Structure 1
Amino acid sequence: MQTSDLLRQTDKLPNVPDIVRELIQLLNDPNAKYADISERVSHDQTISLKVLRVVNSAYFGLSRKISSIDEATVLLGIDRLKTLVIASGFSNSVTKVEGINLNEFWADSFRVAELAHWFAKRTPLVETDEAFTAGIVHNIGRLLLHLAAPDIAKEIQLLVANRKAGRVKAEQDLLGFTSQEAGRALMDLWKFPASLGYAVQYHKRPFSDGDPDPLSCVLNLACYINACIRTERDLDLVREGFPRAVSKAAGLSDGIVYELDDALVVNDGLNQLIH
């Protein structure tokens, strides 16, 4: 099987709203007219309502109720609004996937996105918005696999669950490619910035394609901290296992290891976008 075989099943691909595609394609455009984007967001009622619900939650702690996207833009800034719209659009891209608990899948993706944003703020080599978006889509290839080839996806899950193979090896053995490669192919199909697709493909092994890409490295670190949160790992063990070579390649200072206690309590208030 090849990644193109998954992408040919167009009826099974995630259905991402046009406004989300526009926002992601504009990530690398410094001349983008964000006022126009704000207006477009207002016209998508489903996304607007979800975004406003989060804006008015304790997550942002605003002193008064916000009733419009324009108000949200003024108070939060277009960049923060943009990340909320992207998160909301992706979380609504599919309604049911065999073998995946979607609430858990998106909660996990949102936390990786927040962690990638947290690391990106601490390095000059990575844009925070792009890091956030990369976090949301970092596992989109697995979603695609379960949608387009559910039987094979189930076999892979069994191998991993029974500790007979790691996920990457199981995917390569049964598919001939990894879900990260499938994710990049999907990013390319959607015409998203090449840097996003590259980070999705190489975030698990950022040194495997020559000089490491800082965005891939930030995503790798976000996934590491997310795994530590999931397993409730002790802070000393988190620091001990922290991939320092990846951190250095991401442009982070050596002192970042002493800030990891803050990363472990990164807020996951975006979960309200899932429901």
Structure 2
Amino acid sequence: MKQMIEKATNLPSIPEVVQKLIASMNDDDVSTEMLANIISGDQAITAKVLRLANSAHFGRQRKVGSVKDALVVSGRDALRTLVLSIGLVSSFKAPASFDLKAYWRRSFMMANRAKWLAKLNKADAEVAYTCGLLHGIGEYLIHIVEPELAQTIDQQVNEGAARRKTQLELFGFDYTMAGSELARYWKFPDEIADAILWQQQPAGSGALLPYPTLLYLARYMIVYQDQINEGKFDELPLKLVHAAHLGLEQTYSRMRSFTEDESDIYSMLQ
């Protein structure tokens, strides 16, 4: 997979500001001023940050006129996550057969839920959001490097085949493995790459990892949202909830109280 990624000539070129922000995720000592300087170096991204920061999406009480202002009102980690989102959305291109808008909509849905659930296991909410945002990059990668085979897999899945099993049979790896490798190639922190790899098996590494657990539960929330709204949790993975030492009633409450405005997602895609 690593060789496949390195040889791919049509992978998106990640903006320099995003590359620097990814590097800063491994640096606990990065200052607010340093982040402001990094973000301000890209005029297009800065303009979108300020537009979003002053939109109803963020409900600001006062005008945000600079990146430094946005850092003050949003917080360092939240703004860094916002810029990562903007930079990745703006840089991703895909074959005509790949519905990029649907891909990002699903990614933001996962990100919002993972962030909302992070309180349950005391995980970092912004890291959880980033894990959700990137959970499907392996699927994107497969469509970029093998568009025809990816289309064949999509057709088989539509006919009832299991996606990961079909990918393993045709490629020898699936979208979780490909996504994790791409995250490492882009130098995201190991905990994010591991979350992508183990999102379908939170204890697959030999330990129950917090961020794969959040992704697993976030996916459950998407699939069973109607039942959750009715207060029904028949399909909730109870073994996972108990193994992660999450309070059952607290988990129910957290999931039921989640709300999402679709306009929030689309504001990120414009």
Fold conserved between structures, TM > 0.5: yes
Question: 1:171 — aligned with what?
Answer: 167
Superposed displacement of residue 130, structure 1: 1.1
Q: CA offset at residue 35 of structure 1? A: 1.6
- AA in 1 matched with 2:239: A
* Partner amino acid, structure 2, of 1:138: H
Per the alignment, residue 110 of structure 1 pairs with 108
Contact 1:98 1:146 in 2 (8 A): no
From 50, 53, 76, the counterpart of 1:52: 50
Q: 1:15 to 1:244 in 2, by over 3 A?
A: farther
1:63 corresponds to: 61
Contact 1:6 1:144 in 2 (8 A): no
Q: What residue identity is the alignment partner of 1:35? A: E
Which one of the candidate residues 241, 247, 252 is aligned to 1:247?
A: 241
Provide the residue aligned with 2:256 in structure 1. 261
Q: Does 1:201 align with 2:197?
A: yes
2:180 is equivalent to residue 184 of structure 1: yes
The letter for the 1-side match of 2:269 is: I
Residue pair 2:95, 2:144 contacting (<8 A) in 1 also: yes
Letter in 2 for 1:64: R
Distance in 2 (alpha carbons) for counterparts of 1:250 and 1:184:
22
Aligned-pair distance for 1:183? 0.6
Give 1:221 shift. Answer: 0.9
2:94–2:143 CA contact under 8 A, matched in 1: no
Paired with 1:237 and 1:98, the residues of 2 have a C-alpha distance of: 40
- What is the TM-score when the length of structure 2 is the normalising length? 0.91
Query: Which whole-Å CA distance do the structure 2 matches of 1:63 and 1:49 have between them?
Result: 19
TM-score, reference length from structure 1:
0.90
**Does 2:212 correspond to 1:216?**
yes
Structure-1 separation of matches of 2:231 and 2:154:
27
- How far apart are 1:267 and its partner, in Å? 4.2
For the residue of structure 1 that corresponds to 2:224, the secondary structure is helix
Contact kept? 1:116, 1:135, Cα under 8 Å: yes
Aligned with residue 85 of structure 1, among 83, 86, 109: 83
Number of aligned positions between the proteins: 268
Residues 217/13 of structure 1: CA separation in 2 closer, same or farther (3 Å cut): same
1:99 to 97, 100, 107: 97
Does the Cα contact within 8 Å between 1:38 and 1:78 map onto a contact in 2? no
Residue deviations 1:96-154, cap 9 Å, x none? Answer: 33322211111211121111111112322x21121111111110011011011001100
Aligned to 1:13: 11
SS state at 2:91 partner:
coil
User: Does the Cα contact within 8 Å between 1:41 and 1:47 map onto a contact in 2?
Assistant: yes
**1:12/1:249 CA distance change after superposition, 3 Å:** farther
Deviation at 1:17, TM superposition (A): 1.6
Asked if the contact 2:8–2:145 (Cα under 8 Å) also holds between the matched residues in 1, the reply is no
Distance 2:228 2:24 in 1: 40
Asked if 1:273 corresponds to 2:233, the answer is: no
| Runs of at least 5 residues in structure 1 that lack an aligned partner in the other structure | none
Q: Which residue of 2 aligns with 1:142?
A: 139
SS in 2 for 1:122: helix
Change (3 A) 1:97 1:224: farther
Residues 112 and 135 of structure 1 are in contact (CA less than 8 Å); yes or no, is this contact kept in structure 2?
yes
Cα separation, 2, equivalents of 1:271 and 1:80: 18
Letter in 1 for 2:22: I
Partner of 2:170: helix, strand, or coil? Answer: helix
